[in-house]
Amino acid sequence: MKKVYDNATEALDGLLHDGMFIAAGGFGLCGIPELLLAAIKEAGTKDLTFASNNAGIDEFGIGILLQTRQVKKMISSYVGENAEFMRQYLSGELELEFNPQGTLAERMRAGGCGIPGFYTKTGVGTQIAEGKEHKDFDGETYILERGIVADLSIVKAWKADDTGNLVFRKTARNFNPPAAMCGKVCVAEVEEIVPRGELDPDGIHLPGIYVHRLIQGDHEKRIEQRTVRKRETA
Amino acid sequence: MPWDRNQMAARAAEELEDGMYVNLGIGIPTLVANYVGDKDITLQSENGMLGMGPFPFEGEEDPDLINAGKQTITELNRTAYFDSATSFGMIRGGKIAAAILGAMEVAENGDLANWMIPGKLIKGMGGAMDLVAGVGRVIVVMDHANKRGESKVLRECTLPLTGTGVVDRIITNLGVLDVVEGGLKIVELAPEVTEQELRDLTDATLVD
CATH number, domain containing residue B11: 3.40.1080.10
Neighbours of B40 (CB within 10 A): 11
pLDDT tops 90 at residue A100: yes
- The range of the structural domain enclosing residue B115 comes to 5-207
Neighbours of B14 (CB within 10 A): 15
- Segment among A3-12, A186-195, B112-121 with least mean pLDDT: B112-121
**Which of the residues B15, B17, B46, B105 is marked catalytic?**
B46
The pLDDT tens digits of the residues spanning B168-193 come to: 999 999 999 999 999 999 999 999 99
Band the pLDDT of B51: cuts 50, 70, 90: very high
Rounded CA-CA distance A102/A65 in Å is 25
Cβ(B175)–Cβ(B188) below 8 Å:
yes
Cβ(A204)–Cβ(A166) below 8 Å:
yes
- Read off the amino acid at residue B27: G
Q: How far is B12 from chain A (nearest CA, A)?
A: 23
pLDDT tops 80 at residue A234: no
Q: Which residues of A fall within a CB distance of 8 Å from B55? A: 227-229
DSSP state of A30: B
Cα dihedral across residues A28, A169, A21, A132: positive or negative = negative
Q: Which residues of A fall within a CB distance of 8 Å from B65? A: 170-171
Domain layout of chain A by residue ranges: 8-216
Q: Do B75 and A221 touch (CB under 8 A)?
A: no
Question: How large is the average pLDDT for residues A105-123?
Answer: 98
The pLDDT tens digits of the residues spanning B15-39 come to: 999 999 999 998 899 999 999 999 9
Q: Do A101 and B127 touch (CB under 8 A)?
A: yes
Question: How large is the average pLDDT for residues A50-78?
Answer: 96
Q: How far is CA A35 from CA A39, A42, A62, A156, B74, in A?
A: 6, 11, 11, 9, 26
The pLDDT tens digits of the residues spanning A125-145 come to: 999 999 999 999 999 999 999
Cβ(B133)–Cβ(A121) below 8 Å:
yes
* Closest residue of chain B to A101, computed from CA coordinates: B127
Q: How far is B151 from chain A (nearest CA, A)?
A: 22
Angle between helices B84-92 and A101-112 (to 10 degrees): 120
The pLDDT tens digits of the residues spanning A19-38 come to: 999 999 999 999 999 999 99
Q: Note which residues in 45-74 of chain A have CB less than 8 A from chain B.
A: 53
Residues 6+ apart with CB under 8 A from A179: A23, A24, A25, A51, A52, A108, A150, A153, A154, A155
Rounded CA-CA distance A184/A112 in Å is 9
Q: Report pLDDT for A80.
A: 81
The pLDDT tens digits of the residues spanning B33-47 come to: 999 999 999 999 999
Q: Which residues of A fall within a CB distance of 8 Å from B88? A: 101-103, 105-106
Q: Does domain A8-216 have CATH number 3.40.1080.10?
A: yes
Neighbours of B194 (CB within 10 A): 10
Q: Do A28 and B128 touch (CB under 8 A)?
A: no
Q: Report pLDDT for A161.
A: 98
ipTM: 0.96
Q: Do B87 and A105 touch (CB under 8 A)?
A: yes
Outline where A15-72 has alpha helix (H): 34-43, 63-67
Q: Does A101 touch chain B (CB under 8 A)?
A: yes
Neighbours of A56 (CB within 10 A): 28
Q: Which residues of A fall within a CB distance of 8 Å from B49? A: 170-171
Q: Report pLDDT for B121.
A: 67
Active site residue B15: no
pLDDT tops 90 at residue B76: yes
Cα-based angle A216, A217, A220 (whole degrees, multiple of 5): 145
C-alpha closest to that of A13 among A41, A35, A57, A43: A43
Q: How many domains is chain B built from? A: 1
Strand blocks (E) in A138-210: 140-146, 152-160, 166-167, 186-193
Classify residue A200 by burial, with Cβ atoms within 10 Å: 0-12, 13-18, 19+. exposed
Q: Which residues of A fall within a CB distance of 8 Å from B71? A: 225, 227
Helix (H) or strand (E) holding A28: none
The pLDDT tens digits of the residues spanning B146-174 come to: 999 999 999 999 999 999 999 999 999 99
Bridge partners (DSSP) of residue A188 are: A155, A214
pLDDT tops 70 at residue A74: yes
Largest CA distance in chain B: 53
Phi-psi sector, A28: left (phi>0), alpha (psi -120 to 50), beta: left
SS3 B117: strand
